[in-house]
Chains A and B, each alone.
Chain A
Amino acid sequence: MNQEILFAENNEHQLIKHCKRARFYFIDTIVLFSIAFYRKKFILLFLISIGLSACTKDPAAPNPDFTEEEYYAGGATTVFDVSSAAFSGPATNLSAERLLLHMEGDAAFEATFVTAPAPVNSGLGPVYNQSACNSCHVLDGRGAEPSVFRLSKTGFDTNGGPLAIPGFGGQLQNLAVASVVAEGEVIMQYEALLKYFDDGDQIVLQQPIYSFINLYQPLPNGFHFSPRVAPPVFGLGLLEAIADEDILKYADPFDLDKDGISGKPNYVWNQETLSATLGRFGWKANQPSLLQQTAAAYNEDMGITNKLFPEESSKLQMQYDGMQDDVELTNELLNAATFYVQTIAVPAPRNLEDPEVIAGKKVFMAAKCNSCHVPRHQTGIMTQPELANQIIYPYTDLLLHDMGIELADNRPDFQATGSEWRTPPLWGIGLTQIVNGHQRFLHDGRAGSLMEAIMWHGGEATGSRDYVKKASQKEREQLIKFLEAL
């Protein structure tokens, strides 16, 4: 009940900002509360009638192009912030007590680890990529360049996942504590790739070329690798809260409806259930839950062992410290960090009344971007209470799609082929510059603008991309305006 009150208080806070829609819901809430708890009082009816007349006297004109729901991309968690803190706000419907847990997780997310033995934050490495979560997920936002490179050799491991490379494991750790050697480094170069719109305008794409150098031992011939940018971490709890069946209803792995769009679920190894379950996080949907995503990042990216991954990533390698100090992360901190990423608010879209944004939405729909970037979902109930039953606008189907040879990493990941990628959410994408100071997109950050990202789309998205190629310059600008408003 406490939570309901706090929820109501938060509602009130948002309502002042966006009264247009919220006040009607609010009246519902009040009526429900009141009827439930004070139904015998006749005064209630009187108050409600006064209230309704007072509040409905001046209804703001609805925006015919965006529903009232769309103003709250993250449902009741939505935060209204257009600063560099836009990706870092706690869900606005957290109770005071739950906010404390969120803040504990926030501190864990910022904690910097050091080499063991140490009295505070012990256990870094021996090989690692970064010493703190927020070193890659800066301000909970998007990285500009790949922060990790996944590695594998041809074949599958016993759980159906990528086959680790002896001496390297599943990821290149480019840093190491002082007593051991790092696995190697990657140098990135770009090659210009000229593309044209149908009206003759040109756009220069940058094709990345990677070289692996300073390797502590040779990588085997024909090894597979996949560069991965740190994705934004807000709103993930809401995506986790979408029921499996609500994702699977968009699945069409064999394109039986012949619309050219597959939508393939990835089934990935789940360390908690010890079985294959639906994957939904990561660029190839190779993580089934935020707990596992978080635990895997601690282990692979920082060398911090935990209950889900109790062995060092360097085990069986010459860098293994054999310190017998595992696990290095308490369950409390792992759970707090997980709760943190589950309960970061989604920033609200902006400028939805702008005619250019409205026109851009029409281009988005006409180009059928929404076939994969499915705008609207409703979360289920098997989740944290703040995340349950929310109408959200993430613009993703969380499914895999073939994106063509130019974007392919040629590294299979469970059911994902070398050219399949999970549709990434688009919410908040227009705030990337303000939060992270760059506009680099896609799994490896190769796109230097939203339009470049669109033009890299291939495979199943060829039709949508070609629609944009064919569109007038004005329509293309409108499309970008729409994306920037998200």
Chain B
Amino acid sequence: MTNTLLKFQKALFILSLTLFIASCANDDNIDTSVKFDATQVLENIPVNVITATYTDLDLGAENLVIAVEELAANPTSGNLLAAQSAWRLARTPWEQSEGFLFGPVETEGIDPSIDSWPVNTVDLDAVLASAAVLTKDYIDGLDGTLKGFHTTEYLLFGTDGNKQPGDITIREFEYLKAVTQSLQGATKQLADSWSPAGENFQMNLINAGKSGSIYPSQKSALQELVNGMIGIADEVGNGKINDPFSQENLLYEESRFSNNSKADFADNIRSIENVYTGSLDGTSAEGFSDFVIEQDKELDTKVKSQIADAIEKIESIPGTFGEAVFNNKPAVQAAQDAVRLLQQTLESEVKPLLDKL
């Protein structure tokens, strides 16, 4: 037997022993050692974070519709910039909603109408060249890759970052007007689905554990929230940053036409922050933090600082993300590492706390 193998076996033995002892040590904490009344957290987050974000999103989409109409009526550089800015402003609450991709956005199939990627440029060209009357209804009937944020982005920003009002054809203006109306239809559907005035999905979280809610317990509602946060951290760290970065290929950059990627990533992490703190403006309200802090004050501090660090690292990437992928690899790497660290903490330290509930 080689020395290495012996060492390995010794390590294995010690590991087994540690696990063994750890498992026994945990015996006293099985099942329901932790009591936490999540009522306030579950009354606050769905209303003041989730529904509020969707309301902002719908307002942003409405403003985008108006900005595009003004641009079409009066295609000046100023109006193009205003429409591009309206796109970014609408994009912010969408990215800030991706930390809670559950409920109607998934079950009603709304996400593909808002955020399909990539853009089907071959079909878009064909539709533009066709005689089809470009109305909201017509666009609604198209595949997701011909509508939503990214198709709008493609038409508003162009592929070389130098779009001029004069580049936009009459057909493209017609498409832009219809596609932004279609986008707003989807954001309205989404906002209505959570609103008490609409389908009121928020009541499922608020009433978790009571009859009428799809969540059989407060624990399952908290699981939903933490899974949402982990999901977007994973998406940013291992998808949105990783795909273009590891392959050094900007074709995999999601918001590459607008160079909005850094804002996308940071807003995705803010989505985690909003659920965690229970508010949209960074102030502390009844958030997921309330649950963590009761179990492990240090962990709570760690999560908050890792959220702040991830946002900071993303925003301090010099220039555009597309440039940094080639010219500032250490900065991109640092941002990716920070996001992955946050994911790791949420997954292996925060989520297991729920097992004791």
Bin chain B's interface residue count. 35 or more
Nearest CB in chain A: distance from B114 CB, A: 13
Contacts of A388 in B (CB 8 A): none
User: Roughly how many angstroms separate A58 CA and B28 CA in the complex, as a whole number?
Assistant: 9
- Interface pair B12/A178, CB less than 8 Å apart: no
Nearest CB in chain B: distance from A330 CB, A: 14
**When the two chains form the complex, which single residue of A1, A103, A177 contacts B122, counting CB atoms closer than 8 Å?**
A177
Name, among A83, A107, A433, the residue most crowded by chain B CB atoms within 10 Å (CB to CB).
A83
Taking A115-B123, A434-B215 as contacts, is the C-beta distance between A8 and B17 under 8 angstroms? no
Nearest CB in chain A: distance from B84 CB, A: 23
**When the two chains form the complex, which single residue of B9, B24, B107, B112 contacts A135, counting CB atoms closer than 8 Å?**
B112
**When the two chains form the complex, which single residue of B19, B26, B107, B252 contacts A8, counting CB atoms closer than 8 Å?**
B19
Nearest CB in chain B: distance from A104 CB, A: 10
Contacts of B127 in A (CB 8 A): 178
- Interface pair A51/B108, CB less than 8 Å apart: no
Nearest CB in chain B: distance from A333 CB, A: 14
Contacts of A115 in B (CB 8 A): 120, 122-123
- Interface pair A438/B107, CB less than 8 Å apart: yes
- Interface pair A112/B215, CB less than 8 Å apart: no
- Interface pair B224/A83, CB less than 8 Å apart: yes
For window 70-110 of A, CB contacts with B under 8 Å fall at 80-85, 103, 107
- Interface pair A116/B122, CB less than 8 Å apart: yes
Q: Does B144 contact A (CB under 8 A)?
A: yes
Contacts of A20 in B (CB 8 A): 30
Q: Does B104 contact A (CB under 8 A)?
A: yes
- Interface pair A119/B223, CB less than 8 Å apart: no
Closest to B13 in A: A38
Q: Does A117 contact B (CB under 8 A)?
A: yes
**When the two chains form the complex, which single residue of A8, A81, A84, A124 contacts B103, counting CB atoms closer than 8 Å?**
A84
Q: Does B211 contact A (CB under 8 A)?
A: no
State the main secondary structure of chain B at its contact with A. Answer: helix
Nearest CB in chain B: distance from A369 CB, A: 23
Q: Does B85 contact A (CB under 8 A)?
A: no
- Interface pair A84/B106, CB less than 8 Å apart: yes
Contacts of B27 in A (CB 8 A): 19, 23, 55, 58
Contacts of A132 in B (CB 8 A): 112
For window 88-146 of B, CB contacts with A under 8 Å fall at 102-104, 106-109, 112, 116-123, 126-127, 130, 143-145
Q: Does B162 contact A (CB under 8 A)?
A: no
- Interface pair B118/A5, CB less than 8 Å apart: no
For window 1-36 of B, CB contacts with A under 8 Å fall at 8-10, 12-13, 15-17, 19-24, 26-27, 29-30
Contacts of A121 in B (CB 8 A): 118
Q: Does A250 contact B (CB under 8 A)?
A: no
Q: Which residues of B contact A (CB under 8 A)?
A: 8-10, 12-13, 15-17, 19-24, 26-27, 29-30, 102-104, 106-109, 112, 116-123, 126-127, 130, 143-145, 214-217, 219-221, 223-224, 227, 231, 238-239, 251-252, 352, 355
The 6 closest A-B pairs by CB, nearest first: A437-B107, A178-B126, A82-B220, A83-B224, A114-B120, A115-B122
Show 17 residue pairs from A and B whose CB-CB distance is below 8 angstroms, ordered by the A residue.
A5-B12, A16-B352, A20-B30, A23-B23, A29-B16, A30-B20, A34-B17, A51-B20, A60-B30, A84-B227, A85-B227, A112-B144, A120-B251, A177-B126, A178-B130, A434-B215, A437-B108
